[in-house]
Structure 1
């Protein structure tokens, strides 16, 4: 282990990179201010989304944009200050969401998603984390036949192009799988490929424990500076310095700000999200992950209770929480499933790290030898962490990765 790498960020992406580099015989130090899996990776919906071959585009039709303006929707909310601060990347996001550009982005993005199960699988096995994972897919529920039929047509295209497996369920077939649903729900898409995780933070922690058990080092400390000294890198923390041959920037929504100190300007922005856990009114039992597709929230049977996760909130990364979106989602959720009392003292808040073309940056920094980038995974950092680690480890070893990495290079910005 003559080569030493420091990975900054202990979320799903950073932990996965550290794990894969260690598998290649590289000495790795993983750094974060918090324990592994306690930031963005802690609060997501816990789905390894093999079906998510299409990223979320910016709304382009006038009707949808008008419906967002009153700022009362469950799936998307905004604050004016945050929108103004991120005006340039958001405009670029809208630009990349045009039909012509989006058609080019989808197969590039899908090439990553298609690796998610085959890269999570070995890590789950090595971590002994099978008890956290279910392989029964999840349910995307609908209220109107027209929207279900439209989604079923999209699913057929995804199956033909990207081998996505699904079933269309009418109301009775849905109730056979998931009883106790409200009368408004008339059918669903059952996505068959994805795996679901009953405690996302615990899965990241299990991956990190596997990394440590094989000789990896975790430093929990505030990073103060990252500087290049001739052929090496020096990472200064509140507890001292670590010198390494390579540094990997995997700090999620904080990556863009950190990279400014090294002269890079990436058009990063965040989509914030909230969650809350609930008890269930007996004898009802939530057996599947449910997304209320026409409203825009998700219910998940987690170890900590029924987790309700919200859609996107466009605001500054560190702005105070606003539970209005969560409260609106809770009101809608109570009408379709018998939730009981809240189990958390306060809502959890996190931020998804986004880039305007909906694809992450994965690969070498353009102007600094030994600096590697892995951020901007949007809604799918939890899904794509192991695939990112696998691909980046190949790149750092000088090998040809399993897919074309040109669409994810930093030079595109």
Structure 2
């Protein structure tokens, strides 16, 4: 574990006034733990940028908690559930961490969710994609913020099938996350009059997609759906360009791809690709202002959706702490679900009883190099999906909390 200070800004926001005598904020302190991928293959989309995002949220809300100290610490879970759960347990039981933030990778997030279940701490998850966090494995102590596989698959598959092409071929990472993306997207394709003409599954951390891409190319499908993530998505998009797949008239649709991935691919290879994100740094005056502040501490890099979700989730958590006048997990969770979500990055929404945060999702297409006007000018908006349509309906998730 380490406490990260960046630039001249401390990770601890301090104010001078005293808390009211009736406050239940123990010791006048709120402690946020960013449990993330500092050194692994998702570190660009989470990692230190997630710590910076939490730090900015603490600074922005400091004036709303007179006399309180908001502290941000961090740790690298190394993408291992045992390390993630052990770190979270130590934080919660020994170091008085009130909220665990980010936690990319579904397996790690599910393990951490069980640690916080029934405790006085909350998990506010931005990084993972599994719908199980708000389905069968839902917890009163878990809030799932940024995205999930249902929202990504539903957004991209529906819009692309309606507007670009009806026939799909899936290139899928051969593990539970990839299977879930493919299954969800296939159902949406068929429900919207499309067909799935074939698919192939590949090992994770794969370096050669040639045989898989040749099968996709030979299928003649209008759309090649990429049901993979991070390095596998980057490599498959680059190699698809080398094989002339998109120049030959087929389209790529990535079911999980973020700004950092597009940056790694480059616009020359990624141009024309479709993807769904809940946040893009260049959408509004407010998102640009936040992104400028973020970039000052991140050597010019713009925030990903995961990192923006850490900021948004931390800010709403702190609003709930103020409303409840407490850091007790049950009290803060109740307040988070009662107060509408509203911030400059994700807009207006709400936290449902199953812990799923409802907000708009956006389908984008990657610009060509000629269309881009500068660094990280990557996306053009295709369609915005309203908050009430963007996520799996509450009655379809199987969360026990939804039936109580």
TM bucket (normalised to shorter chain) is: under 0.3
Q: Where is the helix percentage greater, Structure 1 or Structure 2?
A: 2
Q: Relative contact order (C-alpha < 8 Å, sep 6+): which is higher?
A: 1
Length-normalised TM-score, structure 1: 0.24
Q: Where is the strand percentage greater, Structure 1 or Structure 2?
A: 1
Length-normalised TM-score, structure 2: 0.25
